Every structure is written in structure tokens, then in C-alpha cells.
Amino acid sequence: MNDTFKDIPPTTLADLLGREQVMDTGIRPLWDSPRVAGPAYTVRCEPGDNLMLHAAIYRAEPGSVIVVESGDVDYALAGGNVCAVAQRRGVAAFVVDGVIRDLGEVREAGFPVFSRGVISIPGTKKKLGALGAPARAGGVLVYPGDIVVADEEGIVVTPAARQEEIFAAARAKLAKEAEQSLDAWETDHRARIEKALRDQGFAD
């Protein structure tokens, strides 16, 4: 089912899941990458250190989205070679609450990275964090196996236990929207807006 989540826009998932499952706007695509979707492989790195992310690229299953909690934006968690190896091993993307480097190489390779930005200096590899434990990224607590969908519209996390329910609801919502013309949408929208204004006592 994970691959089929690529057909669901983050906006649709956000409508169904609410604000608490949507990462904040600081974590953005670093280049114009396509939408990615996959089960989370969670990583917690200590501030200033990237050891656990570097370990994760050899442990995450193909198709996984590696989600990283780092605790700082002063040191890069990964660079071009780490991203290239992750890509070669089938990792779908990095979603990093932190920063990376070698963006030109990453973009040229076509590896999707969503992060808080870029910095040129790397972190150390001296501190143990955690693999496969809940990780907080962009304000969302992500558990292993949660479904991460990310594109230019944002990053939404579907809890693993709700993936079938949310997927079915999302497909139904998209189908309903596809059947509605813009004229019909405008009529319904205007009626709802005018009612909301009246309910608040607004008068032209």
C-alpha cells in the first residue's frame, strides 16, 4: 500500500489528519523533487553529530523514508556521498529536522531531501542516538512504519495503524472532488462563506 500513497497529495491527507500530523514549514524540499511516499525509518541524532543517520542508510529497507531528529542546524547531517549511497540502496528520501551539505551533488543525483537548509560543515560521528525509536521532526512525533508523504506542498505523516482508513478516505475525497466542476464548487463555496459571514453578524 505504501507506493499508492504517492497518488495522494499532502493537502488531502492534511485535511483528513489535522495539523498535528503536518510538519512545520521550516522543513522544505531542497530541490524540485517529485512527491515521495514510504514507511518511516526513524533516526535520532545527537546535536552536532550525524553517526546514527550514517548508520541508518545501511539498515533502512528499500522504499523507506529516513526521518531524522537532530536538534541543531549548525552541522550537516549528510552530504553527497551519503545521499548517493542511500539512493543506491533504495532509500526513497531523507526528511531531516536539520541541515545537509553538497546540495549540488544531491540535486544532480536526483535524491529527494527535505530539510531546514544547507550548511557546509559536517557533524561529528562520536555520539550514539537511536534507530527505530520515535523521532520528532517538524513538530510531528514519527513512529517507525508511519507513512510519510512529502512534496512541495508539505510533509504529512499518517500513523501506521490508520493507513488503510486514511488511504480509503483520501481516495474517496479525491474522487468526489474530481467529479465536481469549478462552477459547482464556486456555488457551494459562496453559499458556505456567506452563511459564515451572516453567522458572525457581518453585513455589507
The pLDDT value given to residue 4:
86
Phi, psi of 147 (to 5 degrees): -90, 120
Max Cα-Cα span within the chain? 65
The pLDDT value given to residue 2:
55
pLDDT averaged over consecutive 10-residue blocks of the chain (204 residues)?
82 97 96 96 97 98 97 95 97 98 96 97 95 98 98 97 96 92 90 92 86
Handedness of CA 84, 85, 86, 92 (dihedral sign): positive
DSSP 34: P
Residues 6+ apart with CB under 8 A from 130: 42, 43, 44, 52
- C-alpha neighbours within 13 Å on the C-beta side of residue 188: 7
- 142 in Cβ contact with 38 (< 8 Å): no
CA-CA distance, 52 to 57, in Å (whole number)?
9
Q: How far apart are the first and last CA of the chain?
A: 50
CA-CA distance, 77 to 195, in Å (whole number)?
50
